[in-house]
Amino acid sequence: MGVISLQNLVSATAKPAEPLSGLFEIRSLPMALTAIKQSSLQAPAWLKAQDAAAAAAARTVTDTRTVTYSVTTRGTVTADLAEFRAQAYQTLNDGRGWARMGVAFQEVASGGDFTLVLSEASQVPSFSPGCGAEYSCRAGRYVIINQDRWLGATPSWNSAGGSLRDYRHMVVNHETGHWLGHDHLSCGGAGQAAPVMQQQSIDLQGCGFNAWPLASELWSSQLGIR
């Protein structure tokens, strides 16, 4: 807004059209109102998680895909194979697991999209030079569960008070996760739940044990799910 100078009035008799316009510049409220920040609110963390879960659930209802797998063993297997089959199936189709992507896992007699193997520990390296005898592994279409881990989890897991059933959930989800297209992840921050793709048997990095994929892990390059 323009401010009319009244200097000329001192000696002149002519009157300005708006002699009191100089009052406009004294106002401070317009500037105070302009300075107030009105940013759009970002969705809080809990809402993002709820939305992701809802999206996953919607995919389950509208776009369920079936993934088939067969079960086999390698080496001398002393564990209860029927129990292995039943518990692996439960884990894979659990509502807390990869099934949240809208995927149903179905065991078939042979072949299938991948092969779930219960392997004697010493035989695990036979699948790939990248596999060791200590932990479970994934090599190509093979999702290999180390029999020693299946039967006894790991010392760190046990010393932290984790149950064997939860360890079995975790190891099946982790190795299947590799087949789905996931690499290893690190702990997102101290005190948070560990991503299922973190190597929790080796180092928790400050995270808490977690047997199930996080919402952020619900994707699969293998199945084309984003």
Residue 185, classed as helix, strand or coil, is: strand
Shortest Å distance, C-beta 16 to other proteins: 9
Binding region for other proteins (CB under 8 A) out of 10-18, 98-106, 176-184, 193-201: 10-18
Does residue number 86 form part of the binding site for other proteins (CB under 8 A)?
Answer: no
* Chain centroid offset of residue 44 CA: 16
Binding region for other proteins (CB under 8 A) out of 27-35, 80-88, 160-168, 174-182: 27-35
Give residue for tokens 């894979």: 92
Does residue number 109 form part of the binding site for other proteins (CB under 8 A)?
Answer: no
Binding region for other proteins (CB under 8 A) out of 7-15, 57-65, 148-156, 188-196: 7-15
**102's tokens:** 């809208």
CB 169 within 8 A of CB 94: yes
Binding region for other proteins (CB under 8 A) out of 33-41, 93-101, 106-114, 212-220: 33-41
Does residue number 82 form part of the binding site for other proteins (CB under 8 A)?
Answer: no
Cα–Cα distance for residue pair 163/155, rounded to 1 Å: 12
**Which amino acid, residue 180?**
L
> x/- site string to other proteins, residues 39 to 68, per CB under 8 A?
xxxx-xxxx--x------------------
- Residues at the site binding other proteins, with contacts judged by CB under 8 A: 3-7, 9-10, 15, 18-33, 35-42, 44-47, 50
